[in-house]
Structure 1
Amino acid sequence: MDMSVEFNTKIFSYMNTLTKAEKKVADYVLDNMENTIYLTVTELAAKVGVGETTVLRFCRRIGYKGYQAFKMAITKEVAKQSFDTSEETDEMNAVQSLVQKSTTASIQALKDTSQLIDMEMLEKAVALLTSQKRIVMYGASMSGNTAEDARNRFLRIGVIIEVYTDAHMQAMSAATLTKDDLAIGISISGSTKDTIDALRIAKSNGAKVISLTHSKLSPITHLSDVILLTAGRETPLQGGSMGAKISQLLVIDLLYNLVANQRKNEASRLKELTSKAVLDKAY
């Protein structure tokens, strides 16, 4: 898919100043812009066959402050090209098309996530959830909302999870963890700085770490004892992909049901108690 002349020209104008390795990055990006918008810096480096520092140096060389700023520029170009080449349709057809596309994307995200499930990793996660003394969960933005959903879900079976979405609170809570505790980080990109910083602190204190992420080659996985992959992905312009959210919730639901099944009688007793506790909250 051809991108805008302006963006191509910007990269080509720097070609003579790039090193051989940086030119490899430029060539890959120009040929794979639609895929590049979904890649972390680690994944792009691996696909091109260069180091992460080369990718970052390339981004700065052509005028961007860093990789995320570069990826944002590519995303805008891809979105602009898609808009410029879209066919005009009447309003009703446009609505029907949007409904179909959104539904298909959500279903596909669930199917893809189920295929990514690593049973061994899932079992390890359940073992940690049922054995560690204290459980904390970190996430930002939409991933923070997923963490809160997980806390509320697990509360029904007596598994208490602390959730922190503020960067300062994440760091402070992580500093109090020990080898008997569990830290869970949720990040679609696997590159959310505040979440990773908190997990790094937790890890340094001996706590076990579980990560939920779309990207297997990302900073968050380097800190993780258990990696749970989700299929949903998002571009810098989306910032709240429903496919990504649904994928996260599927993994949370699997963990919840597996823990509940392991505890059986106790989980059933607590689900009944928590349900009765809110019976009078509805008309």
Structure 2
Amino acid sequence: MAEYTFINESHIEKRIAQITLENISDFGNMTVEKIAGLCQVSVSTYLRFCHKIGYASFTEFKVRIVDAVGKYTFLNTPFSKGENYTKQNFFEVSKNIIDSDYIMLRKLLDTDMCQAIVDACAKHRQIFIVDLFYSTVRFAFHSDLAVTGKNVHLIHPGGCVASMKKEGLDKHSFVFFVYDGSSRTHDVCPAISVCKNLGCHVAVLSCHEHFPNEECCDEILVIGKASSVISSVVLHDLVFQYLSVCYREKYIRWGDDR
């Protein structure tokens, strides 16, 4: 079990921190009364704890925790197949799952839609990519866009509209949402309609064929729901890499020989 260390902590503060950590996966849905009860302290004691570690309110503390947990959890969890991994079968099981999901991706992926998304990126100077997961491939796509003078923002789905507005979201922006249907991307669907009402160009990379406010999207790229955490990462990175290739071939010139 993970343990929380708080410098110069009291016994009560240590218990609050430890029990909060143990309930971190459900923390976003808890009221201060609920978590205080689990910690066996009063609401005022829990609020003093929040204040002592640097937060003005329980809400601010909860938002920060939910945002942090969301950034470091993978897409599409949990997976039942992952429970069957052992040291002996890990690579064989992973290969079979990835192979099966790759076949699904190739059947679903609309390469013309990929090109349409790339072309939309080329037409907009300010681009927002709303995604749970950060990887080298995502940053490579970010770099490809930046090389051609785009102002690119990587935004976490939680509270994404407020975050984008803070960065200058307007009717000239291109917004690319990644939606997996989990609770960690529940802010995406409402944000789609908000962005469309602002006049933004909206595209979505989705694990699901249908989702709320899909009619507000200019492009929808369906990739299917992966069968494991590892496979999910692979599929998403493959699609982002393909978008990079499409963008480079049409919009980036390296030297005089191209």
> Of the candidates 104, 118, 142, which is equivalent to residue 112 of structure 1?
104
Q: Over residues 78-114 of structure 1, what are the superposed CA-to-partner deviations in whole Å (9 max), with x where a residue is unaligned?
A: 96xx98xx9xxxxxx9533232111121222223212
Shift of 1:263: 1.9
Q: CA distance change for structure 1 residues 264 and 134 in 2, over 3 Å: closer, same or farther?
A: closer
Residue 207 (structure 2) aligns with: 214
Paired residue type of 2:249: N
TM-score (norm 1): 0.52
Residue 200 (structure 1) aligns with: 193
1:179 aligned to 2:171? yes
Q: Over residues 191-226 of structure 1, what are the superposed CA-to-partner deviations in whole Å (9 max), with x where a residue is unaligned?
A: 722222333321110101111111011126343211
Alignment of 1:41-60 (within 5 A): none
Shift of 1:160: 4.0
Residue 222 (structure 2) aligns with: 229
Q: Which moved more, 1:113-122 or 1:162-171?
A: 162-171
Shift of 1:131: 0.6
**Quick one: distance in 2 between partners of 1:111 and 1:220?**
28
Residue 87 (structure 2) aligns with: 95
Q: CA distance change for structure 1 residues 135 and 177 in 2, over 3 Å: closer, same or farther?
A: same
Q: CA distance change for structure 1 residues 164 and 170 in 2, over 3 Å: closer, same or farther?
A: farther
| Structure in which a larger fraction of residues adopt helix | 1
1:250 aligned to 2:242? no
**Quick one: distance in 1 between partners of 2:160 and 2:212?**
21
**Quick one: distance in 2 between partners of 1:169 and 1:227?**
19
1:188 aligned to 2:180? yes
Residue 164 (structure 1) aligns with: 155
> Of the candidates 114, 117, 121, which is equivalent to residue 125 of structure 1?
117
Q: CA distance change for structure 1 residues 136 and 153 in 2, over 3 Å: closer, same or farther?
A: same
Residue 25 (structure 2) aligns with: none
TM-score (norm 2): 0.57
Q: CA distance change for structure 1 residues 174 and 212 in 2, over 3 Å: closer, same or farther?
A: farther
Residue 135 (structure 1) aligns with: 127
**Quick one: distance in 1 between partners of 2:141 and 2:197?**
29
Paired residue type of 2:247: V
> Of the candidates 244, 251, 254, which is equivalent to residue 263 of structure 1?
251
**Unmatched runs of 5 consecutive residues or more in structure 2:** 1-76
**Quick one: distance in 1 between partners of 2:121 and 2:213?**
19
**Unmatched runs of 5 consecutive residues or more in structure 1:** 1-74, 87-92, 270-283
Residue 143 (structure 2) aligns with: 155
Q: How many residues align?
A: 174
**Quick one: distance in 2 between partners of 1:210 and 1:94?**
39
- Matched residue of 2:187: which SS? helix
Q: CA distance change for structure 1 residues 253 and 225 in 2, over 3 Å: closer, same or farther?
A: same
On the 8 A contact 1:185/1:212 being kept in 2, the answer is yes
On the 8 A contact 1:139/1:165 being kept in 2, the answer is yes
Higher RCO (CA 8 Å, separation ≥ 6 residues): 2
On the 8 A contact 2:130/2:177 being kept in 1, the answer is yes
RMSD: 3.3
